[in-house]
Structure 1
């Protein structure tokens, strides 16, 4: 292919001439060091290239060579437990090669070419195969069996298949197709900007259980759903994302640090290997892929990092796994779009963001979903996408938040005031929402408890009532309220402090199963209903509020998962205590 030459350099944007043989989205190598870039605009024979590395030292006249291929990722054994940058360069391998700092033009294969994996075939000679068909597996980590699938573009009959130890580039099977013999290796490539095919999308109904009570009970997300976590600086977006990564009911976690602070990615790297997976007892890293593109890394690679994470997530989804992808944060991704758009001198939209911000955001969120996987009629996989948004100054009317809210179905609105009061997760229950509630409510009523939806509705109405009553209290004082309304305030306070508030650093309170959540919620609402009954019988509210059983209700969150039957004991005790008070009141009145 003809080699072009640089005629203009503007930060990460390089313009090259004599590129008439290249195509848009081709990967190119810029300069003598071969910096990796991607063509994002073509005008005649001039190509505008976003370079994924620092461009200092590049100048007019430097060579530019197109590879003729789009930006792609390598998919195969070796993804799990690894940490990559935004364009899938393995950071550990780079550190071993050049030290602690990224060197310009450094080239390292994404997947280790020397490590051998034990391949166990699941097909035999003569079997007919098509794209996505599983031909065997590799035990990649102690908890994840990596399925080896037929790459797209290959369809035919198995001519030979081998069992044994292979590197990712060695042939494990030969497929006889109408175009001749095709070799299949443990690794395949896929362009990041193109979604991986599937048979059809399914209606997501099953919740992705997170163990976070405010999410699972009030604002749940489905497996294959989309959610966003917008909030101002310091409101706990990263804490929420970490909790979802640790405890979310997904078999694979893809965590993308997109433009995040370096020290926060360091926390992730230090924490995740030490975290015990509650399902397997192994390290959480055994089922995690980390993509780190920190705020001091080249801005163009930040834009690519989300697509890299999505493609890896889709690959594991195609194996039939449930995948959770966390992007922290999509605002930094949008800022990278804005910077590149500005350098291309495109017409700006709101606040300088490109006019296509909404469609690009839709592109990435729409790649989530629950699907019937290619190559099978019954293999189901799910990719759940949870994106953090960092609106400047907490202004939710800014373009990135608004573009995101038009697409996602779950909104967890973080509140700085709650965070300052040390209420975590600081999800505001009055302005958050989930459009999956009806579907998940039916699933919960069927699979957890028949009264789940009714309890949730009652609890939410109490929290909303509290907001109205607090307005009255601010105007005329609490003495103006009836005893019934004062009871509502007390129970809403119990819901806030004993149920919604959760300590991420407490070994028991950090996670609550659906059964425990149901028992806790029922206990708090039983106190409310029984106390109303007592008030109707003439018992004074002060007497009810001073009951010792209230301390046991408040401490129910610290009851371990293996002992949640104790909550039933507290429920029985509560019933006896209230009945006794009502009886005593009746005797006294008689």
Structure 2
């Protein structure tokens, strides 16, 4: 037992909530419970009595067993060795645990997150001079963590002072001393390659900035219609079977972020097994190397302790903020925040707190807001600009978007990708409903699209959404009285909307060609669909029957070209557009001759 640790006893046990008697205990402090050493966290105090939520099941623990305060809050280890790792909800490395404990995690098992034996090649920051005043976030040097990620060794946020010593270049383990800093009180801080940080405390930064560039995911319905900025807050709500997990996995795989953190929070084990098995095999589309070189996974399945589920979101966020502080753009995917909220509800019930909407605690909205507020684009202390983009899946029971978690999330976030059970049943994937989804970043994203892709992007996007809205109105009429009640112009509007839905919005994650779509290809496909609609509407105004236009073989080709040409073959899509334009022009000339005759 270290000097900071103190000993007490267990008084009472109520599921994952344990009451202990331990003098000097502090709120938020980590505790080990019982003979087997279950890990927990103090959530309330009354004198020397503390209530602890344990991250493991308390079966077999009895009153009178020992309880030990560890002297620090729930914290994570931040340093080289995180990338490519797979951790549980409290940052225990699952691959190492499997070697020690087999397929099931032995309760009380303590395994450090970072490998103590591994040596890292440290390169000191040559711009630093001894005697220089350093503050939080100052870069002491670098370590090549993976071939893709250069890991910057930072001064911890709670350390500031004069640099007295900096280690030369060489190989060091993470506990080796690489620097000494003396603060204004004369205290000498020893710094290694890693440090700890409490997960519930946001890491500081110099100032918050507005997002300036979109997160490119390669998914057309997201990038083109409901864009997300780097540093933004988004949600993917949808009922069971609508495809939330696939949408998040596609974003994790194809987004142009520097770092990807995927948190499986309370989801089914088979889904997380699929993630854990497939991600190490994936190739990074931007570097050509393994995707796991810039990815880390936090896995907390539905059969794991409920309190660790609640902690897993904070663990992922803290690691995301750490890489943000190095100047990286990080995307964190939380699947799902509904399971996280259910953990809050269960613990709240155990504590006897007053329930409100559907049994959730009164602080649900504020906790959700505090979590999403940790996303953002910031100016770091020493590494330039960095960002954390947070995208949370929401699983409303029965697809009811008015339930508390979804409704509160909708009030907080800036991008809302609502999944539709009707679209999923119709095999339209991604099943993002263009009627109920929204993005607050369109005008900012438009600046990027106009500069990098085409200056007509926002105009075409607006036209497509208006056409889809008109399609919804006309579809209701067709359902009531049939298509015969529509004019040729209205029927062509339905055809144009169908081209947009099938040729642009639908995208198969399993199609080797169409699983990723570059911004240039996205705009080419959208422009193709709308150009066909525009040319066809001109012909209908000349009196051409809609049936003749619908029978053109080029229309079927336009629907299929998303899978025919990859992102490097945008020229082929433009060639198809020219071919269709010639076909329409031939029809126009023919009908012009007939009118003259």
TM over 0.5: yes
Task: Say if 2:8 is the partner of 1:4.
Answer: yes
CA contact (8 A) 1:75 1:189 kept: yes
2:591 is equivalent to residue 588 of structure 1: no
Quote the residue 1:90 is aligned against.
93
Q: Deviations over 1:228-270 (max 9, x none)?
A: 1111111101010100100112110010000011111110011
How far, CA to CA, are the matches of 1:153 and 1:7 in structure 2? 35
| Greater mean alpha carbon deviation, residues 493-502 or residues 172-181 | 172-181
Which residue number in structure 2 is paired with residue 501 of structure 1?
506
Asked if 1 retains the 8 angstrom alpha-carbon contact of 2:257 and 2:330, the reply is yes
Return the offset for 1:98: 2.1
State the Cα distance separating 1:300 from its structure 2 match. Answer: 0.6
Q: Which residue of 2 aligns with 1:433?
A: 438
* 1:67 matched to 2:76: no
Match of 2:238 in 1: 231
Partner of 2:574: 568
User: Is the deviation greater in 313-322 or in 95-104?
Assistant: 95-104
1:199 correspondence with 2:202: no
Report the aligned-residue RMSD: 1.2
Matched residue of 1:325: which SS?
Answer: strand
Q: Show the counterpart of 1:165.
A: 171
Alignment partner of 2:484: what SS? Answer: helix
Q: How does 1:112-123 map to 2 (within 5 A)?
A: 112-123=115-126
Partner Cα distance (1:488, 1:55) in 2? 62
Q: CA deviation at 1:532?
A: 1.2
Aligned match of 1:478: 483
Find the aligned partners of 2:348 and 2:487 in 1 and give their Cα distance.
60
Hey, what does 2:296 align to over in structure 1? 289
Moved over 3 A (4+): none
2:60 paired residue among 50, 57, 61 = 57
Tell me whether 1:420 sits opposite 2:425 in the alignment. Answer: yes
Counterpart contact for 1:125–1:160, Cα < 8 Å: no
**d(CA) in 2 for partners of 1:57, 1:141:** 43
**2: CA distance between counterparts of 1:578 and 1:428?**
32
1:180 deviation in Å?
Answer: 4.0
8 Å Cα contact 1:53/1:298 also seen in 2: yes
Calculate the TM-score normalised by the size of structure 1: 0.98
CA distance in 2, matches of 1:385, 1:274: 24
1:316 correspondence with 2:319: no
Query: What is the Cα deviation at residue 549 of structure 1?
Result: 1.6
SS in 1 for 2:365: helix
Alignment of 1:124-139 (within 5 A): 124-126=128-130, 127-139=132-144
Partner deviation per Cα, 1:542-583 (whole Å, 9 max, x = no partner)? 111111221221122021112111111112112211111111
- My pick for the range that moved more, 150-159 or 353-362, is 150-159
**d(CA) in 2 for partners of 1:111, 1:511:** 34
2:59 & 2:32 partners in 1: Cα distance?
Answer: 15
Offset from partner CA, 1:466-523 (integer Å, 9 cap, x none): 0000111122221111111100001101111111010001111001111101111011
1:298-347 deviations in Å (ceiling 9; x for gaps)? 11100000000000000000000000000000111111111100000011
Q: CA deviation at 1:538?
A: 2.4
* Residue 23 (structure 1) aligned with residue 26 (structure 2): yes
Quote the offset at 1:176 in angstroms. Answer: 3.8
Name the CA distance, whole Å, in 2 between partners of 1:452 and 1:125: 50
Q: 2, 13, 19: which is aligned to 2:17?
A: 13
Deviation at 1:152, TM superposition (A): 2.1
Does the 8 A contact of 2:429 with 2:506 survive in 1?
yes
Whether 1:41 and 2:44 are equivalent positions in the alignment is yes
Distance in 1, Cα, partners of 2:475 & 2:323: 49
Equivalent residues of 1:29, 1:35 under 8 A apart: yes
SS at 2:500 equivalent = helix
**Secondary structure of the corresponding residue to residue 562 of structure 1:** coil
Name the SS of the counterpart of 2:274 in structure 1. Answer: helix
**Counterparts of 1:177 and 1:407 in 2: how far apart (Å)?**
40
Q: Distance in 2 between matches of 1:263 and 1:89?
A: 20
- Relative to structure 2, which stretch is displaced further, 85-94 or 122-131? 122-131
Structure 2 contact 243–419 (Cα < 8 Å) conserved: yes
The one of 269, 274, 277 aligned to 1:270? 277
Using the size of structure 2 for normalisation, the TM-score is 0.97
Q: Does 1:354 align with 2:361?
A: yes
8 Å contact kept, 1:235–1:419: yes
The answer to whether the 8 Å contact 1:163/1:172 transfers is no
- Equivalent positions of 1:182-261 (< 5 A) are 182-261=189-268
Deviation at 1:45, TM superposition (A): 2.1
Could you list the runs of 5+ residues in structure 1 that have no partner in the other structure? none
1:347-383 per-residue CA deviation (whole Å, 9 max, x = no partner) reads 111111111000111110000000001235xx00010
In 2, the alpha carbon distance for the partners of 1:168 and 1:264 equals 33
Alignment of structure 1 residues 348-427 onto 2, 5 Å: 348-375=355-382, 379-427=384-432
Cα separation, partners in 2 of 1:78 and 1:2, compared to 1, 3 Å: closer
Q: Which residue of 1 aligns with 2:535?
A: 530
Q: Secondary structure at the match of 2:43?
A: strand
Note the C-alpha offset of 1:430. 0.7
